[in-house]
Structure 1
Amino acid sequence: MSQKELHPIPARDPVSGGPLFVSELRNDESGVSIRGRFALPAYCNLDTEQSRFLEVFLRCRGILSSVEKELGLSYPTVRSRLDQVLSALNLTPIREEARPEKPDKAHKEILDKLERGEITAQEAKTRIRERSEVR
């Protein structure tokens, strides 16, 4: 059977709207059939628009600016669609690490005093820790 003769897998039962599972896998060439209850991959539950977005996203290697151009959408819309796909797949985005704050003036003074040998490393550590607790 050629790929053109295959039907797409429906995401939901068209009558009840409930989830579906695969009950048989078959190879026409060998005649082998495997029966059981097989779960569909999560991406099979994506709607047509989400599937198309995921395909474009992958072809663009995850570069959102390329996805923008390919789909003719704004960056916020692309991000929103990506978030929708992640949600549909029950995936939580990995948040970017919080960027370390630039040391403020007092923090820099402590480090400068340490560098000049005016205070010890232990004293610098204590002062910095005290400043962090005040914030």
Structure 2
Amino acid sequence: MSGKHLYHAPADCPVCGDTLITTRKGCLRCGTEIAGEFASCEFCNLGQADLDLLKVFLGSRGNLREVEKHLQVSYPTARVRLDAVLAKLDLEPSGETAARASDEGAEEAPSEYGEEVPGEGSPEDQILARVARGEITPEVAAQLLG
């Protein structure tokens, strides 16, 4: 690959909003081009910040404390951001899984780092923790934080 800067392709059509597909691919080295209808990967729609978060999460073998350090945010905020990336990938965020388990009468396993302690952390962190646990929606959190 040459030193040319490659831009991230948009995921949605700027005219109608429908999902875009790739119809042409080319080699920067030899100039070969192919045309057709190619599916994009589910990760291609993520922005660079989301991809960086996933790289840190996967590189640390799922250690959310490492994501917390990388983002330089509180643990609940890191968890909310990871849940947002999971939602973009149509994966169920952890708060919804925990809520469903308790609704079905299953015993919820304690979190890796213990449960949030009421009264600890800033009010913003407590609101984000409630979103992460599935107690409130992101929209309600935005109103509370607004």
Q: TM-score, normalised by structure 2?
A: 0.54
- Aligned residue for 1:5, secondary structure, equals coil
RMSD: 2.8
Q: Structure 1 vs Structure 2: percent identity of aligned residues?
A: 43
Higher Cα radius of gyration: 1
Aligned to 2:25: 25
Confirm whether residue 6 of structure 1 aligns to residue 6 of structure 2: yes
Aligned to 2:58: 58
Paired with 1:3 and 1:93, the residues of 2 have a C-alpha distance of 38
Q: TM-score, normalised by structure 1?
A: 0.58
Deviating above 4 A after TM superposition, structure 1's stretches of 4 or more consecutive aligned residues are 93-100
Paired with 1:74 and 1:14, the residues of 2 have a C-alpha distance of 36
Paired with 1:58 and 1:81, the residues of 2 have a C-alpha distance of 14
Structure 1, unmatched stretches of 5+, are: 101-135
Amino acid at match of 2:52: R
Indicate if the aligned counterparts of 1:11 and 1:47 stay in contact, CA closer than 8 A. Answer: no
Structure 2, unmatched stretches of 5+, are: 109-146
Cα 1:59–1:5, aligned 2, differ >3 Å: closer, same or farther?
Answer: same
Cα 1:4–1:30, aligned 2, differ >3 Å: closer, same or farther?
Answer: closer
Cα 1:14–1:60, aligned 2, differ >3 Å: closer, same or farther?
Answer: farther
Residues 75-133 of structure 1, C-alpha deviations (whole Å, 9 max, x = no match): 11111111111111012358589559xxxxxxxxxxxxxxxxxxxxxxxxxxxxxxxxx
Amino acid at match of 1:89: L
Whose helix fraction is larger, Structure 1's or Structure 2's? 1
Paired with 1:69 and 1:28, the residues of 2 have a C-alpha distance of 37
